[in-house]
Structure 1
Amino acid sequence: MKKVAVVYWSGTGNTEAMAEEISNELKSKDIEVELLGPSSFTKDDIEKYNGIAFGCPAMGSEELEETEFEPMFADIESSLSNKPVLLFGSYQWADGEWMQTWQERCEALNVNLVRDGLIAYDYPDDDALEECRQAADKLAESI
């Protein structure tokens, strides 16, 4: 059975809702899914999975959460080139610049992104949840 890690950080529950929607869609395709916080995922875990979805909301000045998520991602990002990866997260201000910056960072390291980063304004509405399902489908097709 294929296996995917959905690694995310959520402060308000918005990104968590996206993670759960992505997870449920993957499970509907008979893919084993593990929902993990950033402190539970290391470079050594990468090979356990056929694909990985990373979720983090915009924080501060349009950046990744700095105490847990950013250190974890900085440690593993150079080891992701052989895995299909999905980036997702929510925001409540500005225009989603943090996702564009995160995506460009991954592209510079040849991370195999299955699509452009998925963003939702505030709590994901029905359209954003549908986009989560479509993104999960793209990840499923890539593993």
Structure 2
Amino acid sequence: MASIVLIYASMTGNTEEIAEAIAKGIREAGVEPVMKSVLDAVASELEQYDGILLGAYTWGDGDLPDEFVDFYEEMDRLRLNNKKAAAFGSCDSVYPEYGVAVDQLIEKLEQQGAEVVLPGLKIELAPSPQEAEECSRFGFDFARHVLGQLT
């Protein structure tokens, strides 16, 4: 059975809410994801999973959250070849750069050899009920990629 890890950083709960909606979709596809706050995770454990989802809010004008920085830097030592991956996060259109943390996570995953199978999912602040459904579909589709049901 395929294994998926979902690691996220959430200050106000918005990114965690997105992560939970994504996890719901993964479960609907028949996979039980491992969910962790980035504060409870170490980057090296990513190598143990078939699928990797990383989520972070964008801090300020386009930075990763402080709590994600060490994990992000630890990823430099990883080889994520043959891993399916995607990234998501809550964003705020008040800032000139929208959802840059999601883009940074995608770039890092690709640099380490992962195959990013879905475009980054960016949600304005907290997900509306319709956006929560979009998050769930994102998780479902991601799980299908990991299971080899989508290419």
TM range (shorter): 0.7 to 0.9
Sequence identity (%): 27
Q: CA deviation at 1:108?
A: 4.4
Deviation per residue, 1:44-72 (Å, 9 max, x gap): 31233220110100102211112x21210
Match of residue 86 from structure 1: 86
Residue 72 of structure 2 aligns with which residue? 73
Q: Secondary structure at the match of 1:20?
A: helix
Give distance in 2, aligned partners of 1:83 and 1:16.
Answer: 23
Structure 1 counterpart of 2:47, one-letter code: E
TM-score (norm 1): 0.86
Measure how far apart 1:42 and its partner are: 2.1
Alignment of 1:4-19 (within 5 A): 4-19=4-19
Residue 25 of structure 2 aligns with which residue? 25
Structure 2 distance, partners of 1:135, 1:13, is 19
Q: Which residue, 133, 136, 143 being the options, matches 2:136?
A: 133
Cα distance, 1:107–1:49 mapped onto 2, change above 3 Å: closer
Instruction: Give the corresponding residue for 2:149.
Output: none
SS of the residue corresponding to residue 129 of structure 1 reads helix
| Residues 43/105 of structure 1: CA separation in 2 closer, same or farther (3 Å cut) | closer
Computed over aligned residues only, the root mean square deviation of the Cα atoms, in angstroms, reads 2.0
Amino acid at match of 1:114: V
Q: List gaps (5 residues or longer) in structure 1.
A: none
